[in-house]
Amino acid sequence: MNFNKSILAKTTTAAIFFSFISQASAVNIDAGDFDANIYGYARLTMVYDVDEDIGADAENSIFSFIEGSGATGHFGANANQSRIGVQIKNNDGVEFKVEGDFYNGTLRLRHAYGQYKGILAGQNWSNYTSFVGATSTLDFSGVAGGAGLQHREPQLRYTTGKLSMSVENPRSVLNSANGATLKDSAPAFTARYESRSSGGGYSLGVLAKQNAHDDGITDDSAIAYAGFVSGKLALSDNISVQGSVNYSNGASAYLHQSYADDAYLDASGSLENISGYAGNIGTTFKLGGGKSINMAVGMTTVDWDDAVADGINVDRKSEVNRNILVNYLWTPVKNVMMGVELANWYTERVDGTDDDANRVMFAAQYNF
């Protein structure tokens, strides 16, 4: 099939970030005016939590699950990350994609969009996302501080060359301590410039949206914005270094794994943005024979000082989230991946308490 480079890049880089995907031959169907490509994988994930259980529906780690109490030593396993999708292209150059997975035990929509001559409409990775600087991990949640949203949103996008712009469904979370009531009255606007080469690549993204409070009696709004820089540098044919740097002012949902509020109401009823920054760095060593070692560390930091000064109770909110992941991945034959990963997840809260959790993860994945 001759899908254009932008779709192939999105599909490939997304797979690299969330899990190691060996090169696989999808099922191709030629139906007259249409070419169809059915693809996906079946995956087993098994995990042993040395400390408390911090695994979500696909045994992926969640910072907010770290509480520093409870029983230690937990085992879990499931196949919820498995997915299936179909890509179709007709002779007029119109492309379609629908993909789902079983994250919560039932079929969940991941992608559903069409594209023609640079215009994309539907649900796809947020345009305020990049996987250029991503390090391969087995954990579905990935490294903290990834570039942008790291999720999919309904959107209208236009791409010309290396530049893409979009109007998207916004992600907003207001702190409810003083009765803030969220109202989305405008979309999120994004722009991204991305370049790739055999020696690596880079990506720059910006986002703007409106945070709004309206309880029917009082209302207020504030403009939020965010930006990221992400890149990868190949030091040799077998070694690369990659990473990302992010900043957010009132757009904490776009600060990957910060789990923070976007804004809060102060005593006067004014909506005040919450800011934060994040980053990660990783390295990949290709050992030959389908084997590789990946190491990465990521961190998010949220500035709650103004909220505390205004009397907002955010004591149990995470001020710093950090994770360290090291894995060994092996592709014994085409379309099959196996790997093991060691990880430490750490959170420091506004009240000064901190806790961490250690995990061992194994995964086996069969691609088609």
Q: For residue 199, what pLDDT is reported?
A: 87
Is there a domain that residue 252 lies in?
yes
Is there a domain that residue 236 lies in?
yes
CATH of the domain at 121: 2.40.160
Contact 339, 362 (CB under 8 A): yes
SS3 214: strand
Is there a domain that residue 30 lies in?
no
CA 12 to the chain's CA centroid: 14
Report how many domains make up the chain.
Answer: 1
Q: For residue 69, what pLDDT is reported?
A: 82
Is there a domain that residue 36 lies in?
no
Is there a domain that residue 5 lies in?
no
Q: How many helices (H) and strands (E) does the chain have?
A: 2, 20
Q: For residue 66, what pLDDT is reported?
A: 96
Q: Which helix (H) or strand (E) holds 226?
A: strand 219-234
Query: How confident is the prediction along the chain (368 residues), in pLDDT tens digits per residue?
Result: 333 333 333 333 344 434 444 334 577 777 778 889 999 999 999 999 999 999 999 999 999 999 988 789 999 999 999 999 999 999 899 999 999 999 999 999 999 999 999 999 999 999 999 999 999 999 999 999 999 999 999 999 999 999 999 999 999 999 999 999 999 999 999 999 999 988 899 999 999 999 999 999 999 999 999 999 999 999 999 999 999 999 999 999 999 999 999 999 999 999 999 999 999 999 999 999 999 999 999 999 999 999 999 999 999 999 999 999 999 999 999 999 999 999 999 999 999 999 999 999 999 999 99
| CA nearest to 61, candidates 41, 38, 45, 83 | 45
How many other CB atoms are there within 10 angstroms of residue 116's CB atom?
Answer: 13
Is there a domain that residue 362 lies in?
yes
Is there a domain that residue 199 lies in?
yes
Q: For residue 25, what pLDDT is reported?
A: 56
Is there a domain that residue 328 lies in?
yes
pTM recorded for the entire structure? 0.89
Domain hosting residue 211, numbered range: 45-77+108-367
Rounded Cα distance between 41 and 180, Å, is: 42
Q: For residue 33, what pLDDT is reported?
A: 80
Q: End-to-end CA distance of the chain, in Å?
A: 15
